[in-house]
Amino acid sequence: MRIAYLFQKKNVEAGEQLFQKFNKRFESLTRFPKLGKLYPKLHPEIRGLLEQNYIIFYRISSESVEIVRIVDARRNLLKLFKEWR
């Protein structure tokens, strides 16, 4: 029982650390919206920014940055964004 608790605790801490890293990326995007690279094969307006094994996909409007998805970078991105094309 104690081992299971420790694993759960560790996962919570890892999740919190990743959440904090995402928040830093979001703050960066508000200041530098063109920081991420374009993904024209997915959609002409989609940009992505890598954080660890995840890609934060977003698009820029005249007034804001909209986070579209956060996905594991190892996934089949073309299949995942199929409905957007």
Q: Are 47 and 40 in contact (CB under 8 A)?
A: no
Q: What are the start-end ranges of the E strands in 8-80?
A: 37-38, 47-51, 54-60, 65-72
pLDDT at 84 exceeding the cut of 70? no
CA distance 47 to 72: 15
Q: What confidence score (pLDDT) does residue 63 get?
A: 87
3 CB neighbour count, 10 Å cutoff: 7
pLDDT band at residue 11, thresholds of 50, 70 and 90? confident
Give per-residue pLDDT as tens, 66-78. Answer: 999 999 899 999 9
Domains of the chain and CATH, by start: 2-84 (3.30.2310.20)
Give per-residue pLDDT as tens, 34-49. Answer: 999 999 999 999 999 9
Structure tokens at 28: 């960066």
Token look-up 């063109």 returns: 34
Gyration radius of the chain over CA positions: 16
